[in-house]
Structure 1
Amino acid sequence: MLTSERCLSDIRLTENVDFRTVSSLICFIHLFQMGYYLYSFISTLLQPHCHKGKKSPDIDRNARRKLMIACLLSFIFMIGEIIGGVLAHSLAIISDAAHLLTDLISFLISLLAIYLASRAASKKLSFGWARAEILGALISVLMLWVLTGVMVYMGVERVINQSYQIDATIMLITASCGVVFNLIMGFSLHQHTHHSHGNDAENPYSTESDNLKPLISPTGSLVENKTSYGTVQLENNSSNRKEHKKRHFNLNVKAAFIHVVGDLIQSIGVLVAAIVIFFKPEYKLADSICTFIFSILVLVTTVTIIRDILHVLMEGTPKGMSMDLIKGSFLEIEGVCCIHDLRVWSLSLSKVVLSVHLAIKTGTDPMLVLREAIDKVQKKFNITETTIQVEEFVDDMVNCKMCEDLIV
């Protein structure tokens, strides 16, 4: 096999060959070779092993390995696209590289979320690091907006000044490599999204009765006088959090796969623009048009992400979660007269928390009510953590302003 140096020496002797074009092609070949070697190294290094698995049983090593490979490939080709975009003077390719940067940050955020999710809660952070992923996603989107604004500004400036010096050949090579790269990375991530182990996906929050740990704090005597008990609390100790973590990590990989699909669509658009410019050099305006179109798409798609992030930060009720349906499920429990102080909010996009007060009839067994309530919440609504307080119903609750239903 000829070395790259010998290839370059032969090319210098050949007429009618663009040296910059071939140099960029060889640069991409080296980048892909380096990516392949690093891919093989990391795949071997992070391959699950029986002894290593015992040290960190709560970490989904397969998901982490996939995301690390995605980070590596994104970084390598981002550098390649920056080089190709600069050599080709193509804003479309540079904007694609900027989008790759935000994807790289998103993958790193997912990796960070996997690591932080394994950390236990503390006295200062009683919910742990559940919001770290949300804050990271917010930073990622804001960075994408800034980069998109810069690309739009440069595109407008280029249209006004009519300063087009686009190398269609390099642009075509880079865009083609981009499509191939996204197909490879998408295939790598897609393999993981279709593998599940056990019944994690079916019911990750199911709770067996043996795993329920009651915390009883009566103001009276529950044993001696059942009519004078005050408050009984039963909190799920989340014995199935390991299964939830696995499901959460799979969601991170699926999110990464969605990012790659978006990149693939953008790379195809850049490739179409490159083909147009290659065969019709007078249509170099297609480069700026491609940049504007993708900028609009980025803003449209990320507005919904920002909305979801702000909804979580404001502790809003999760999408698809009906407060009326939850209330109705509680009222179906035998002995429950009314409920109040029902609160449902999101710690993250995949972790939901619920707290509620259940008022029951005198003589009703509070432990049976609690068990049935938690069973309904976790099996029917897949709510991660629940805190349910049971109290005896009193007539004052009927007209209590604090116990009224929330306004829509």
Structure 2
Amino acid sequence: MNTEQLQVQDAETKAKAQNRRKSPTKCRLTKTVLLIIVIALTSWFFLVELIVGYLTKSNALVADSFHMLSDIISLIIGLTALRFSKKESSKKNTFGWARAEVLGSLINAVFLLALCFTIVVDSISRFFKPEPLEKVELMLGVGAGGLALNLISLLLFAIQACQEKADDSGKKEMNMNLQGVFLNALGDSLGSVAVIISGILVKFAPPRDDTHAKWKLYIDPILSLIIATIIVSSTVPLLRKSSLILLQGVPLSLNVDELRNKIFSVNGVIDVHHFHVWSLNSEKMIASAHVRLTGEKDEKRDWETVEQVKRLLHRNNIHLTTIQLEHDDASLDSCDEDCPESLKKGKPSASKFDMKKNETQKDLEQFITV
């Protein structure tokens, strides 16, 4: 793919983006609207659970209402991160707040893992001290209401995801911040399912209406452990990915050695060092490299080499690149960090020339002295 083809491709991409902006946005569910709706629904259900819990003197409902409060906090974190991520760059933040969504996903992932930890601890304690479920009818009603609420939230997430894919020809995935909020809603849905299954088995399984039957005492903790396992298995990859981005690690989809070898294959390149690849967020990758060329400076050749390296990285979805060229006649003093072994072992030709010149001068002085 040559430079002209890349320019045409970029022009087409910009044209599509402009057409999307000009297209009518009726009945469009944006990320911000999605999160506001989910926050409103969750807050409403939190108040219902809290009021019913105190009216019926049900500690279980009151405890679950405060669990819903933690969900509201995570949703507000997600909304805040989303709004910050849309801020434009400034003199103090040249990249803008692009990583706000990554930070939001990390916080939500930690929230989910902390929730799973409390579920596991509570379930294990109930294996040693099993307790019968009380007010099963009320528990079933709350479980059904919670499931309906979370299914509505998941449906809204699905609608928003379909809109995003339609806008980007099906190539765009759910961003990490929304993924964390989605996992939270999914975890709540699974928790509601566990509550409903527990209530149905306790109430209708034989011996019927006997909540003190020994095997019924372990239904709730077993289902809770299963739900916690499912949530953890979905959350750990999100935690790993967001942590990797914030630590500026190499994206999981890339292999640095393969990329370095591809750069080596460019004509005239004899060394690649200080090669770094990292992610700004889940969508943008950045790379920087010091590329050493054979021979002396040649402006035309150097420009062509830079273009070839940038196109190579562009084909690997790295669109923000910084290439620093170094030539074979460069001095070791030009290293801004510790010089790589390739430069130490095979010193540049200019340095070799200076060494030979000094040795010749010394021999000449000894000859004159004799």
**Is the pair's TM-score, using the shorter chain for normalization, greater than 0.5?**
yes
Aligned mates of 1:153, 1:316 — CA distance in 2: 33
Verify: 1:108 aligned to 2:45, yes or no. no
SS in 1 for 2:134: coil
Instruction: Provide the residue aligned with 2:256 in structure 1.
Output: 323
From 311, 318, 322, give the equivalent of 1:387.
322
Amino acid at match of 1:260: A
Deviation by residue 1:79-109 (Cα, 9 ceiling, x = unmatched): 4445566758475x77765665554444333
CA separation of 1:66 and 1:184: change in aligned 2, threshold 3 A? same
From 268, 272, 295, give the equivalent of 1:339.
272
Say if 1:172 and 1:278, in contact at 8 Å, map to a contact too: no
| 1:126 shift after superposition | 3.8
SS in 2 for 1:286: helix
Deviation by residue 1:86-140 (Cα, 9 ceiling, x = unmatched): 758475x777656655544443333223322222334444443334334434433
| 1:388 shift after superposition | 1.9
Identity %: 27
From 225, 240, 245, give the equivalent of 1:312.
245
Deviation by residue 1:189-231 (Cα, 9 ceiling, x = unmatched): 211212247874578xxxxxxxxxxxxxxxxxxxxxxxxxxxx
How many residues are treated as equivalent by the alignment? Answer: 302
Aligned mates of 1:115, 1:66 — CA distance in 2: 13
Aligned mates of 1:374, 1:99 — CA distance in 2: 49
Instruction: Provide the residue aligned with 1:190 in structure 2.
Output: 158
CA separation of 1:155 and 1:257: change in aligned 2, threshold 3 A? closer
Say if 1:98 and 1:144, in contact at 8 Å, map to a contact too: no
Verify: 1:65 aligned to 2:18, yes or no. no
TM-score, length basis structure 2: 0.66
Instruction: Provide the residue aligned with 1:179 in structure 2.
Output: 147
SS in 2 for 1:111: helix
Aligned mates of 2:64, 2:318 — CA distance in 1: 38
Say if 2:42 and 2:68, in contact at 8 Å, map to a contact too: yes
Higher relative contact order (CA 8 A, sep 6+): 1
Instruction: Provide the residue aligned with 2:307 in structure 1.
Output: 371
From 286, 290, 305, give the equivalent of 1:353.
286
Aligned mates of 2:240, 2:131 — CA distance in 1: 38
Q: Which moved more, 1:380-389 or 1:146-155?
A: 146-155
SS in 2 for 1:365: helix
Unaligned runs of 5+ in 2: 1-20, 23-27, 343-370
| 1:273 shift after superposition | 0.9
Deviation by residue 1:10-50 (Cα, 9 ceiling, x = unmatched): xxxxxxxxxxxxxxxxxxxxxxxxxxxxxxxxxxxxxxxxx
SS in 1 for 2:96: coil
CA separation of 1:191 and 1:298: change in aligned 2, threshold 3 A? closer
Say if 1:88 and 1:168, in contact at 8 Å, map to a contact too: no
Aligned mates of 2:231, 2:166 — CA distance in 1: 37
Instruction: Provide the residue aligned with 2:185 in structure 1.
Output: 260
Amino acid at match of 1:359: R
CA separation of 1:396 and 1:104: change in aligned 2, threshold 3 A? same
| 1:360 shift after superposition | 3.0
Q: Which moved more, 1:322-331 or 1:302-311?
A: 302-311
Aligned mates of 2:160, 2:76 — CA distance in 1: 18
| 1:72 shift after superposition | 1.9
Amino acid at match of 2:308: E
1:46-61 pair list within 5 angstroms: none
Verify: 1:76 aligned to 2:44, yes or no. yes
Aligned mates of 1:145, 1:197 — CA distance in 2: 29
